[in-house]
Amino acid sequence: IDAMITNFHLSESTLLMLVSAFAGKENIMNAYQHAIEQKYRFFSYGDAMFLTRKES
């Protein structure tokens, strides 16, 4: 797959590890920092993000 839509997962969860492996840990951490600053909602009923695969 080249892209996915997912929510903001709990820290240290396997789902967070999965999206980090897909899009790159630095990209995910930057997205989470932005989400925190903008008061996004997290977890199952929160906001979503669109991810593209990290370049190899």
* pLDDT surpassing 90 at residue 3: yes
Nearest to 48 by CA among 56, 39, 40: 40
Classify residue 3 as left (phi > 0), alpha (psi -120 to 50) or beta: beta
Beta bridge pairs of residue 4: 51
Domain count, the chain: 1
Q: pLDDT tens for residues 5-52?
A: 999 998 888 999 999 999 999 999 999 999 999 999 888 788 999 998
Which domain covers residue 14, as residue numbers? 3-52
The pLDDT value recorded for residue 14 is 93
**How many angstroms separate the CA atoms of 7 and 41, rounded?**
9
